[in-house]
């Protein structure tokens, strides 16, 4: 089953029972769900997913054009978990610039907006965990892990998922698996994994994000 771990928050209001602090000179853990949400906002502003080095160069150029501020493509790759150097943190300044590029003010203002947002991701941001029991049949999830793996899965019900699309990974559309929950920053263990067109093998397991866990965990439209 999927691993369960702690996700602590202190100070800035995010959920009634949880809070989080961000000091202006600190580095922030790159795998928290708020950063995954910011990545989604930035991609929406840019109008594309960021999957290759060329895409990060384009984002760097766009930020310089819009804000007259420079963030290198390699720094941006750290935020998206694209870098192969396995950085664990992102600078506060980088998050501030990305939040402003996305039209959400500062990083703190973005987190406050996210906390007040109704629906969407708010149901699984608590503890950085998405429980499968909270999903409806047909719900689609977007998952990512280092260095540049992205896949979309659809919930079939009864704890079972089917892979619908894959970018830069060895999973295939049509693969099915079971799990009970997903957690940002933790590996995803797919139980009862079955490859479409191949004979079922009892208790076959498949793991992704074994070193750095999921760097992207979000619901998608449709």
Structure-token match 């997903």, residue found: 182
Q: What pLDDT was estimated at residue 12?
A: 32
Q: Residues 196-222: what's their mean pLDDT? A: 80
- Domain ranges for the chain, please list them: 12-125, 127-219
pLDDT(84) > 50: yes
Model confidence, pTM: 0.50
Phi, psi of 66 (to 5 degrees): -80, -45
Residues 205, 190: contact at Cβ < 8 Å? Answer: yes
pLDDT at 98: 96
E-assigned strands of 129-222? 129-131, 140-145, 149-157, 160-167, 176-178, 181-183, 188-194, 206-208, 216-219
pLDDT at 177 over 50: yes
- Two tokens, residue 42: 């930035």
Q: Is residue 136 classed as helix, strand or coil in its secondary structure?
A: coil
The rounded distance, in Å, linking the Cα atoms of 166 and 173 is 7
**Is it the case that residue 55 has pLDDT exceeding 50?**
yes
Confidence of residue 78 (pLDDT cuts 50, 70, 90): confident
As a whole number of angstroms, the distance between CA 204 and CA 191 comes to 7
Mean per-residue pLDDT, 15-28: 46
Beta bridge partners of 29: 89
Pick the range with the lowest mean pLDDT from 16-20, 101-105, 125-129: 16-20
* Per-residue pLDDT at 6: 32
Neighbours of 54 (CB within 10 A): 9
Distance CA(32)–CA(42), nearest Å, equals 16
Give the model's pLDDT for residue 216.
85
- Residue 154 confidence (pLDDT): 96
SS3 109: helix
Catalogue the E-assigned strands of 42-173: 89-91, 129-131, 140-145, 149-157, 160-167
Task: For the chain, give percent helix, strand, coil, nearest 5.
Answer: 30, 25, 40
Would you say 8 and 32 are in contact if contact means Cβ atoms under 8 Å apart? Answer: no
Residue 46 has pLDDT above 60, yes or no: yes
Residue 30 pLDDT more than 50? Answer: yes
Percent of the chain with pLDDT over 90: 38
What's the mean per-residue pLDDT of the chain?
79
Higher-confidence position of 40 and 5: 40
Q: Is the pLDDT of residue 193 over 50?
A: yes
Go through 7-30 and write b for each residue having 16 or more CB atoms within 10 A of its CB, e for each that does not. Answer: bebeebebeeebebebeeeeebeb
What's the pLDDT tens digit per position in 142-167?
998 887 888 999 999 999 999 999 98
């Amino acid at each position: 089953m999927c691993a369960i771990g702690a996700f602590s928050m202190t100070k800035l209001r995010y959920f009634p029972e949880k809070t989080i602090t961000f000091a202006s000179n600190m580095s922030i853990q790159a795998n928290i769900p708020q950063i995954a949400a910011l990545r989604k906002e930035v991609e929406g502003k840019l109008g594309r997913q960021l999957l290759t080095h060329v895409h990060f160069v384009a984002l760097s150029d766009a930020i310089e054009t819009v804000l007259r501020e420079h963030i290198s493509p390699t720094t941006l790759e750290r935020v998206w978990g694209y870098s192969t150097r396995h950085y664990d943190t992102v600078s506060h300044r980088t998050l501030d610039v990305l939040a402003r590029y996305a039209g959400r003010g500062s990083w703190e203002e973005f987190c406050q907006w996210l906390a007040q947002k109704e629906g969407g991701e708010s149901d699984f941001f608590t503890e950085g965990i998405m429980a499968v029991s909270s999903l409806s049949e047909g719900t689609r999830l977007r998952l990512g892990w280092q260095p540049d793996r992205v896949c979309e899965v659809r919930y079939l019900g009864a704890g079972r998922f089917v892979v619908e699309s894959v970018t830069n990974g060895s999973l295939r559309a049509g693969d099915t698996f079971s799990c009970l929950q997903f957690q940002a920053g933790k590996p995803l263990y797919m139980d009862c994994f079955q490859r479409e067109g191949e004979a079922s093998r009892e208790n076959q397991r498949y793991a992704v994000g074994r070193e750095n866990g999921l760097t992207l965990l979000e619901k998608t439209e449709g």
